[in-house]
Amino acid sequence: MGGLLASKMYDTAKGIVINLISMIDEFGHVLNGARSYYTNRSQPPLLSSMVYDIYLRTVDLEFVRNALPALIKEHKFWNSGFHSITIQDAPGGNGYHSLSRYYAMWNEPRPESSLLDEKLASKFVNSNEKQHLYREIASAAESGWDFSSRWMRDSTDLSTLATTSVLPVDLNVFILKMELDISNLARAAGDYRTAQHFFEASLVRKKTVNSIFWNPEKGQWLDYWLDNDSYKGAHTWDSRNQNHNTYASNFIPLWIESFYSDSKQMKKVLKSIRNSGLLCNAGIATSMINSGEQWDFPNGWAPIQHMIVEGLARSGLKEARALAEDIVARWLQTNYVAYKHTGYMHEKYDVQSCGDFGGGGEYVPQTGFGWSNGVVLAFLEEFGWPEDQKIDCYLTS
Ligand SMILES: *[C@@H]1O[C@H](CO)[C@@H](O)[C@H](O)[C@H]1NC(C)=O
Ligand SMILES: *[C@@H]1O[C@H](CO)[C@@H](O)[C@H](O)[C@H]1NC(C)=O
């Protein structure tokens, strides 16, 4: 979407959104892909961001009015049923927090990879255990991070996937973004009641994100493990359940104004990201764990660079802006060098050295990828080609 808007292809951007809205009308959520066998699995909820970005460029209020009911329906999808979890403050506090998790309505092998899934489940004899694993696999696909040590109890064993036991930082931040987007869009469309309602929801969720995920010692927001993924009552918060591994998703709150505008917290986060080990020669690594899965070290993915860079650049802190420009320079150069060497853009890059594309996971690395193209265009539009050639990209490749 960022690439289409940078290319002024507004009608194409709107056409994509209209297609996604038709899925919400029919199925209640944006499908994981536009195929009949994906009806029981969502995408991470980023449609509101698409609508909002298109609105900022086109000021098309008719388009906004048509999109709002679908966005509100999608918000409900993520805040009800199996996607919704309640956490109660640790003893001593008396707050209740409503959060969301990935949870695919699917307990069979993924149709697109059924042989792999059956093989992975073959270590279980009991059919309940097999079905449980199938749901965890499909839920990891719903998260977009398929697969990653983030969802695994043991990062060396994919059959320990436990996606539905994780309250993910990024998902909950996307829902906060959805609330702000709906609020802004509704205000633009003259629906002040809806605008106020979703603005208040965003304030509550900001508090929730900081209560459940923020870890002041690490200066990061950490995913939270549930003890029991089938328990329907309120889970009691316990600091030991925060996942202390460093993931790029621990910094996704930076993308949202609610967090990047808090300069005191930002300074802590800035220090933390510098010391995290995630900043590599050719971009931000997905994690520090080399599990062999594609959403882990040493892969870097375009949308993650984009979200973190946007937050750093908008925070108003000079040093954060400088870090954003440094990441952009590295990312643009590694994409360019890989393109020159291979003739392709790639879906992911190995951030250890300039010009290397990524690997790992269950399928052969894909070329020509939309989000890699889109982020390069969005970076070029906002930052231009890096003039400063201090980064040694051409030499190390
Ligand atoms: C998929 O969702 C439909 C509609 O909610 C449901 O009837 C069906 O049982 C689901 N399929 C699986 C495999 O869970
Ligand atoms: C998880 O919660 C369910 C539903 O309340 C309960 O039946 C089950 O025993 C719990 N499992 C564990 C391991 O505590």
List pLDDT tens digits, range 125-152: 999 999 999 999 999 999 999 999 999 9
382 lines ligand 1 (CB under 6 A): no
pLDDT (mean) for 204-224: 98
188 lines ligand 1 (CB under 6 A): no
Instruction: Determine, yes or no, domain membership for 207.
Output: yes
For residue 85, the CA-to-ligand 1 centroid distance in Å is 21
Same domain, 38 and 73: yes
Rg of the chain (C-alpha set): 20
Instruction: Determine, yes or no, domain membership for 362.
Output: yes
**Cross-strand pairs, 280:** 283
Instruction: Determine, yes or no, domain membership for 145.
Output: no
- Look at residue 292 and tell me whether its pLDDT is greater than 60: yes
State the pLDDT at residue 391.
54
Same domain, 322 and 227: no
Give me the number of domains the chain comprises: 2
The last residue of a domain, from among 181, 213, 245? 245
State the pLDDT at residue 397.
35
State the pLDDT at residue 8.
97
pLDDT classification of 388: cutoffs 50, 70, 90:
low
Q: Which ligand is nearest to the CA of 131?
A: 1
pLDDT (mean) for 332-341: 93
Pocket-testing residue among 165, 225, 228, ligand 2, by greatest number of atoms within 8 A of Cβ: 228
Contacts of 93 (CB under 8 A, 6+ apart): 237
Tell whether omega for the bond before 45 is within 30 degrees of 0, i.e. cis. no
Which tens digits make up the pLDDT trace of 23-59? 999 999 999 999 999 999 999 999 999 999 999 999 9
Q: Which ligand is nearest to the CA of 107?
A: 1
Pocket-testing residue among 40, 133, 142, ligand 1, by greatest number of atoms within 8 A of Cβ: 40
State the pLDDT at residue 386.
84
Full domain range(s) for residue 191 = 1-101+168-245
Q: Which ligand is nearest to the CA of 111?
A: 1
Q: Which atom of ligand 1 is nearest to the CA of 108?
A: 13
State the pLDDT at residue 368.
87
Residue bearing the bigger pLDDT, 393 or 252:
252
Task: State what percent of residues in the chain have pLDDT above 70.
Answer: 97
Q: What is the mean pLDDT of the chain?
A: 95
Residue nearest to atom 11 of ligand 1 (CA): 106
pLDDT classification of 364: cutoffs 50, 70, 90:
confident
For residue 307, the CA-to-ligand 2 centroid distance in Å is 37
Same domain, 360 and 336: yes
Same domain, 224 and 295: no
Same domain, 25 and 94: yes
Same domain, 173 and 303: no
State the CATH number of the domain containing residue 222: 1.50.10.10
Active-site positions read 146, 347
For residue 247, the CA-to-ligand 1 centroid distance in Å is 32
pLDDT classification of 389: cutoffs 50, 70, 90:
low
For residue 201, the CA-to-ligand 2 centroid distance in Å is 30
Task: List, as own/partner pairs, every contact residues 380-388 make where C-beta atoms lie below 8 angstroms and the sequence separation is at least 24, other chains included.
Answer: 380/6, 380/332, 381/6, 382/313, 383/313, 383/324, 383/325, 383/328, 385/332, 386/325, 386/328, 386/329, 386/332, 386/333, 388/329
The last residue of a domain, from among 210, 245, 280? 245
Instruction: Determine, yes or no, domain membership for 224.
Output: yes
Instruction: Determine, yes or no, domain membership for 11.
Output: yes
Instruction: Determine, yes or no, domain membership for 136.
Output: no
pLDDT (mean) for 318-347: 94
- Kindly list the distances between the CA atom of residue 90 and the CA atoms of 54, 95, 234, 237, in Å, as whole numbers in the listed order: 42, 9, 11, 5
**From CA 366, how far away is CA 364, in angstroms rounded?**
6
Same domain, 358 and 240: no
Secondary structure in 3-state letters for 166-189: EECHHHHHHHHHHHHHHHHHHHHC
Residue nearest to atom 3 of ligand 2 (CA): 231
Instruction: Determine, yes or no, domain membership for 199.
Output: yes
End-to-end CA distance of the chain: 30
Same domain, 388 and 289: yes
Same domain, 392 and 332: yes
Instruction: Determine, yes or no, domain membership for 272.
Output: yes
